[in-house]
């Protein structure tokens, strides 16, 4: 049985309406959780439904298991007051991890109800999934750690809902300069870390004598003061008029910076933290081969700084080592990232669950290992963009999807290796995907192809898939319901291309189509596989 979760993509008005249906205008910050509890108790399924549980980093640390970790669970009881539940654990993605048969106090926000259920009587599951999605959206993006501390007697909806929702969507739609978005996320993240520290020190104070707890009390006071500072800074960004003025000032500063840059060829951003004389001499030869005589080279210490300072369509060169990344920044609208030498690994920052999200233009990645531990998708290709991978090793983690190709996007990969992904490459109807000399190893699903995708592959190898080597979704019911991989290997286009699928015990399934994204294609192209 497939364990795909429900997915909801909503705009500003939809989110505003959903949240307004839960929270009344005059609700105080201290009563917000109670209103959520009442809504969930009234509208959601209380027991018997299956979900993916994405364990928090904090719990993984307590259990001494690797993060990230996901499990398939069935909800046995919901504590609506605490917005948590008791679950029975049916399966764990990592076979080396052993969890108790049942776990209590699992936050509802960590659960993702699956579309397919063992219990067919769960008639309200869509509504349940949507409620949990709204709850998760609210507490992840709108509720701030200082709300109870300083705004307990403030009408929360009137004071914060509209402004914070506008800020969230302005950032999500890239209408806010990157520097501003980063500052907003930093304030919220530091606030959450301080709130956790406050709770820790408050626990230490319980049962401690006045003299012994003096130092702890001092630390608590400092933390409360810092939290107040963060709140005051954040208020600027959630006030629409102040945010507009700040954006205009940031854009003006960026315009001045670009005007001061020489009009000659854009500089290549070279990421170089520390190096030896021998390595520097070697790099000089590599740079000379890759850059023109007149092309300027700008050296920066981190990949994220390079991505922020690069021009649209610019190039970032990486030396060997581990390079954390938060997002593509300027290169979200096109450019290239190149590993100059072996051993270049790109990882996601501990604070980030973002993806390499290409919104416009063309992106090329060469000579890299992409090893993401918190992202749901490593590479996400929006409609009408192009992406080319060369000599890329993409390593997923439990529920990580490798490359998600939206309708209208074009994706090509050559000499690439995809491993340990939930789905290595997802090809939507209307997309164009070409794979050459690629290997797919130990993924849950190597390839998921929707009919209407212009798909081709040559000299590729698929091995060790845990669920399907190739998963084909069709618009119309076909006379072939379930077939073996040997049938796929016998299709002339794949056989002649030299593609080998070694997952002889894994079925390739032809299932009724379930679209995950808006289909903007008219469906003229046919599946080639």
**Confidence bin at 508 (pLDDT 50/70/90):** very low
**Confidence bin at 329 (pLDDT 50/70/90):** confident
**Model confidence pLDDT, tens digit, residues 142-163:** 999 999 887 777 789 999 999 9
Q: Examine the pLDDT at 210 and tell me if it is beyond 50.
A: yes
For residue 318, what is the enclosing H or E element? strand 315-318
Q: Examine the pLDDT at 245 and tell me if it is beyond 60.
A: yes
Q: Please report the pLDDT score of residue 112 as a whole number.
A: 93
Q: Please report the pLDDT score of residue 254 as a whole number.
A: 67
* Cα–Cα distance measured from residue 205 to residue 444, given in angstroms and rounded to the nearest whole number: 47
Q: Please report the pLDDT score of residue 262 as a whole number.
A: 53
Rounded average pLDDT over 312-340: 86
**Confidence bin at 440 (pLDDT 50/70/90):** very high
Q: Examine the pLDDT at 514 and tell me if it is beyond 50.
A: no
* Cα–Cα distance measured from residue 341 to residue 286, given in angstroms and rounded to the nearest whole number: 8
For residue 338, what is the enclosing H or E element? strand 335-339
Q: Examine the pLDDT at 337 and tell me if it is beyond 90.
A: yes
Closest CA to 462 of 486, 431, 492: 486
Q: Please report the pLDDT score of residue 124 as a whole number.
A: 63
Least confident of 100-104, 309-313, 416-420, 473-477: 473-477
For residue 468, what is the enclosing H or E element? strand 468-474
Where does residue 316 rank: exposed (0-12), middle (13-18), buried (19+ CB within 10 A)?
buried
Least confident of 218-227, 438-447, 501-510: 501-510
**Model confidence pLDDT, tens digit, residues 275-304:** 667 777 777 777 766 666 667 888 888 898
- Compare 297 and 385 and report the one with higher pLDDT: 385
A 10 A CB-CB count for 388 gives 17
Residues 405, 425 contacting (CB under 8 angstroms): yes
Rounded average pLDDT over 33-44: 93
Q: Examine the pLDDT at 504 and tell me if it is beyond 50.
A: no
């Amino acid at each position: 049985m497939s364990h795909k979760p429900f997915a909801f993509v909503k705009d500003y008005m939809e989110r505003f309406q959903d949240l307004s249906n839960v929270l009344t205008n005059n609700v105080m910050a201290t009563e917000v959780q109670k209103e959520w509890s009442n809504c969930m108790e009234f509208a959601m399924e209380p027991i018997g439904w299956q979900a993916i549980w994405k364990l928090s980093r904090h719990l993984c640390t307590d259990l001494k298991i690797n993060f990230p970790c996901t499990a398939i669970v069935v909800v046995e009881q919901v504590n609506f007051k605490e917005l948590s539940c008791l679950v029975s654990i049916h399966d764990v993605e990592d076979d080396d991890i052993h969890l108790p048969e049942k776990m209590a106090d699992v936050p509802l926000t960590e659960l993702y109800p699956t579309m397919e259920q063992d219990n067919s009587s769960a008639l309200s599951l869509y509504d349940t999934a949507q409620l949990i999605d709204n709850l998760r959206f609210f507490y992840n993006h709108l509720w701030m750690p200082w709300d109870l501390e300083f705004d307990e007697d403030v009408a929360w909806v009137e004071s914060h809902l509209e402004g914070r929702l506008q800020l969230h969507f302005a950032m999500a739609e890239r209408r806010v300069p990157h520097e501003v978005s980063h500052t907003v996320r930093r304030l919220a993240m530091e606030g959450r870390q301080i709130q956790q520290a406050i709770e820790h020190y408050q626990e230490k104070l319980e049962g401690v004598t006045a003299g012994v707890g003096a130092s702890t009390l001092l630390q608590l006071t400092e933390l409360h003061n810092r939290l107040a500072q963060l709140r005051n800074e954040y208020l600027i960004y959630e006030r629409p008029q102040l945010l507009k003025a700040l954006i205009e000032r940031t854009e003006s500063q960026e315009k001045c910076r670009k005007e001061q840059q020489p009009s000659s060829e854009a500089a290549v951003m070279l990421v170089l933290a520390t190096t030896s004389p021998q390595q520097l001499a070697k790099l000089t030869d590599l740079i000379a081969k890759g850059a023109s005589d007149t092309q300027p080279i700008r050296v920066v210490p981190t990949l994220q700084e390079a991505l922020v300072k690069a021009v649209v369509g610019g190039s970032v060169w990486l030396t060997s080592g581990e390079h954390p990344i938060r997002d593509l920044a300027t290169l979200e609208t096109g450019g290239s990232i190149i590993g100059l030498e072996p051993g270049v690994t790109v990882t996601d920052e501990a604070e980030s669950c973002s993806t390499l999200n290409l919104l416009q233009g063309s992106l090329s990645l060469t000579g890299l290992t992409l090893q993401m531990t918190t992202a749901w998708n490593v590479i996400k290709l929006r409609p009408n963009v192009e992406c080319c991978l060369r000599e890329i090793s993409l390593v997923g983690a439990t529920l990580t999807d490798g490359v998600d190709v939206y309708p209208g996007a074009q994706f090509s990969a050559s000499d690439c290796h995809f491993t340990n992904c939930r789905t290595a490459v997802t090809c939507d109807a209307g997309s164009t995907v070409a794979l050459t000399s690629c290997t797919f190893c130990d993924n849950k699903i190597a390839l998921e192809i929707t009919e209407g995708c212009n798909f081709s592959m040559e000299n590729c190898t698929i091995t060790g898939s845990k669920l399907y080597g190739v998963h084909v979704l069709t618009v119309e019911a076909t006379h072939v319901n379930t077939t073996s991989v040997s049938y796929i290997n016998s299709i002339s286009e794949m056989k002649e291309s030299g593609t080998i699928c070694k997952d002889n015990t894994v079925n390739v399934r032809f299932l009724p189509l379930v679209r995950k994204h808006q289909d903007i294609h008219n469906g003229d192209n046919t599946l080639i596989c």
